[in-house]
């Protein structure tokens, strides 16, 4: 199955499962937690919380910045404007991503072959188990998947939990977010934001 049909299948499966999961919940279950709450953050239509169970969102932010160094391409705020010369100013805008939880997990684990988006699961493309049944032998040189930083599967879940609660659907970057991130150097870096 191609990467994109795999993603579409995951999205379609989620669309069917999510409403069932909600209606199947007994009405008196956890009445202090609103349905659609994930660790204090609203559950969006893109989130499959069963895949994110036990995730550590703060750890996920650290993985984004320091372990995976996603910010080098995707920018500190996920606007795709990172300075990495492999995709300078032209990586995917994660704030606008329409991926579901499984889609994020798959793309972060396996990358997007034929693009600068690297894979981060160090077992990817070794045997066919991890990435769409494919191994490195299935690619010609131009499409060969690029290797990124290794991220443990549990940290990929932490990372996706961070992205889906703080980045996906976050809209335009605000001055407050920029000041919060840059602290003392904010006045220069954040000058263009309102």
Interacting residues with ligand HEC (CB under 6 A):
68-70, 72-74, 84, 86-87, 91-92, 94, 97, 99, 104, 107-108, 112, 115-118, 120, 148, 159
Q: Taking Cα atoms as reference points, which of 110, 107, 92, 96 lies closest to residue 160?
A: 107
Residue whose CB is less far from ligand HEC, 72 or 173: 72
Q: Cβ of residue 19: shortest distance to ligand HEC, in angstroms?
A: 23
Q: Cβ of residue 105: shortest distance to ligand HEC, in angstroms?
A: 9
- Please give the C-alpha separations between residue 172 and each of 94, 168, 176, 178, 180, in angstroms, as whole numbers: 11, 11, 11, 11, 15
Q: Cβ of residue 135: shortest distance to ligand HEC, in angstroms?
A: 21
Residue whose CB is less far from ligand HEC, 104 or 125: 104
Residue whose CB is less far from ligand HEC, 72 or 77: 72
Q: Residue count of the chain, please give it.
A: 194
Tell me the helices (H) and strands (E) count for the chain, helix number first: 8, 2
Residue whose CB is less far from ligand HEC, 47 or 117: 117
Say how far apart CA 76 and CA 65 lie, in whole Å. 7
Q: Cβ of residue 17: shortest distance to ligand HEC, in angstroms?
A: 21
Q: Cβ of residue 21: shortest distance to ligand HEC, in angstroms?
A: 24
Residue whose CB is less far from ligand HEC, 96 or 138: 96
Angle 189-97-90 from CA coordinates, rounded to 5°: 50
């Amino acid at each position: 199955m191609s990467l994109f049909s795999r993603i579409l299948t995951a999205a379609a499966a989620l669309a069917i499962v999510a409403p069932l999961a909600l209606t199947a919940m007994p009405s008196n279950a956890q009445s202090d937690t609103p349905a659609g709450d994930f660790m204090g953050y609203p559950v969006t239509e893109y989130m499959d919380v069963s895949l994110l169970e036990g995730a550590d969102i703060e750890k996920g932010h650290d993985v984004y910045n320091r372990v995976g160094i996603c910010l080098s391409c995707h920018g500190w705020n996920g606007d795709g404007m990172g300075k990495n010369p492999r995709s300078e100013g032209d990586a995917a805008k994660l704030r606008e991503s329409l991926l579901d939880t499984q889609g994020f997990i798959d793309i972060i684990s396996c990358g997007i072959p034929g693009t600068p988006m690297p894979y981060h699961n160090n077992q990817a493309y070794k045997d066919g188990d991890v990435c769409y049944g494919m191994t490195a032998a299935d690619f010609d040189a131009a499409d060969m998947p690029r290797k990124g930083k290794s991220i443990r599967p549990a940290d990929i879940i932490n990372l996706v939990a961070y992205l889906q609660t703080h980045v996906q659907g976050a809209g335009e970057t605000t001055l407050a977010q920029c000041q919060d991130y840059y602290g003392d150097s904010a006045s220069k870096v954040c000058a263009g934001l309102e």
